[in-house]
Chain A
Amino acid sequence: MSRPTKRATSSTAVATKLSAATGVVAAMVLAVLANVAVSRHFRRWDLTSHGLYTLSPATVQTLHGLESRVSFDVLLPNADPLASTVRFLLDAYGAETDRLEVRYVDPDRHAAEFLAVQQRFGVEAGRTEDGQIVTDAAIVVSRVGGKPFFLTPGQLVDSGDGAEERARSKVEQAFTTAIRTVLDDERPAICFSTGHREKRLDDTGAAGLADLASRLRKNNYDAVPIDASRPDADKALAACRMLAIVGPTEPFGADEAARLRAWLVAGGNLLVMANPVPDPDRKALLPLGLDAVTSAGGVALDEDFVFELDGKRRLPGGFGEQYFAEPRPHDVTLALLGERNQDLKILFAASRSIGKTSAGSVVPTELLVTSERAFGMRDFFAWAEKSSGAPERGPDDRKGPLAVAMAAELPKPAGSTLPHGPRLVVVGSATPALGQSFSRDLRGGAVFVESAISWLVARPQLVDVPDKPAAAGVRIAEASIGEVARYVMLYMPGAAALLGLAVWLRRRATDERRPGAGTPGGLG
Chain B
Amino acid sequence: MRGFLAVFKRELLSLFVTPTAWALIVVFLLVSGFHFYALVVHFATNADLSVDHGPVQAFFGESILFYLPLVLLCPGMTMRLFAEERRSGTIETLLTAPVSTSAVVLGKYAAALVTYVAMWAPTILYVVVLRRAGEVDWHVVGTSYLGVVLIGAGYLAIGTLMSAMTSSQLVAIVLSSLVILSLFVMGVGEFIFDEGLAHDLAAHVSVWSQMGELSKGIVDLRRVVFDLTLVVAPLFVTVRAVDAWRWG
Q: Which residues of A come within 8 Å of B, CB atoms?
A: 13, 16-17, 20, 23-24, 27-28, 31, 34-35, 38-39, 42-50, 52-53, 78, 81-82, 84-85, 88, 104, 110, 156-157, 159, 165, 167-169, 171, 468, 471-478, 480-481, 484-485, 487-489, 492-493, 496-497, 499-501, 503-504, 507, 519-524
Contact = CB atoms under 8 A, between A and B. Distances in A.
B50 A27 contact: no
B218 A46 contact: yes
Contacts of B99: 523
B44 A47 contact: no
Contact of B52 (A78, A169, A485): A169
Interface string B27-61: 00110111011001101100111111111100000
A485 B140 CA distance: 24
A521 B16 CA distance: 14
Contact of A507 (B17, B94, B213, B226): B17
A49 B229 contact: no
B122 A496 contact: yes
A504 B26 CA distance: 14
Contacts of A48: 137, 139-140, 216-218
A28 B233 contact: yes
29 contacts: A17-B248, A20-B243, A27-B233, A35-B225, A44-B221, A47-B218, A47-B219, A48-B137, A50-B137, A53-B217, A85-B50, A85-B52, A167-B49, A171-B51, A471-B52, A474-B54, A478-B44, A484-B36, A492-B125, A493-B33, A496-B26, A496-B29, A497-B22, A500-B19, A503-B22, A504-B22, A507-B17, A519-B14, A522-B10
Contacts of A31: 229, 232-233
A468 B216 CA distance: 14
B212 A42 contact: no
Interface string B184-206: 00000001001100001000100
B48 A81 contact: yes
Given A23-B240, A24-B237, A84-B216, A499 B22 contact: yes
B130 interface: yes
A17 B130 CA distance: 54
Nearest to B192: A109
B126 A488 contact: yes
Contacts of B217: 46-49, 52-53
A49 B137 contact: yes
Given A84-B216, A471-B52, A39 B204 contact: yes
Contacts, number: 217
Contacts of A44: 218-221
B151 interface: no
A81 B17 contact: no
A219 B239 CA distance: 63
Q: Is chain B's binding surface mostly helix, strand, loop or mixed?
A: helix
Among A38, A43, A53, the one with the most B-chain Cβ atoms within 10 Å of its Cβ is A38
B190 to A, nearest CB: 10
Nearest to A21: B240
A489 B33 contact: yes
B64 interface: no
A468 to B, nearest CB: 7
Contact of B51 (A47, A471, A524): A471
Given A468-B51, A519-B17, 20 more contacts: A16-B247, A27-B233, A35-B222, A38-B222, A47-B217, A48-B137, A49-B137, A49-B139, A52-B217, A82-B50, A85-B51, A88-B216, A472-B135, A472-B136, A476-B133, A481-B37, A484-B129, A497-B26, A501-B22, A524-B6
Nearest to B143: A47
B1 interface: no
A473 B237 contact: no
A42 B220 contact: yes
A157 B29 CA distance: 36
B182 interface: no
Interface residues of B, number: 83
Q: Please name the 8 residue pairs, one residue from A and one from B, whose CB atoms are nearest each other, closest first.
A: A500-B22, A81-B50, A474-B134, A48-B217, A488-B33, A169-B51, A476-B44, A523-B6
Given A20-B240, A169-B52, A500-B25, A49 B218 contact: no
Contacts of A85: 50-52
A52 B10 CA distance: 45
Contacts of B40: 474, 476, 481, 484
B86 interface: no
Contacts of A521: 90, 93
B30 A493 contact: yes
B33 A471 contact: no
A43 to B, nearest CB: 5
B244 A503 contact: no
A488 B129 contact: yes
Interface string B68-109: 000000000000000000000010011001010000000000
A93 to B, nearest CB: 14
A30 to B, nearest CB: 8
Contacts of B216: 48, 52-53, 84, 88
A370 B59 CA distance: 49
A13 B32 CA distance: 49
B43 A476 contact: yes
Given A16-B247, A23-B240, A476-B40, A168 B29 contact: no
B173 interface: no
Nearest to B213: A88
B56 A504 contact: no
Contact of B139 (A47, A81, A474): A47
Contacts of A110: 194
A34 B229 contact: yes
A251 B99 CA distance: 102
A39 B50 contact: no
Contact of A82 (B14, B51, B191): B51
A475 B135 CA distance: 9
Contact of A522 (B43, B93, B232): B93
B111 to A, nearest CB: 12
Given A85-B52, A474-B134, A16 B37 contact: no
A263 B71 CA distance: 70
A165 B194 CA distance: 36
Given A16-B247, A16-B248, A496-B122, A488 B52 contact: no
Nearest to B48: A81
Contact of B134 (A27, A472, A500): A472
Given A474-B55, A503-B16, A27 B237 contact: yes
A85 B51 CA distance: 8
B159 to A, nearest CB: 18
A44 B10 CA distance: 39
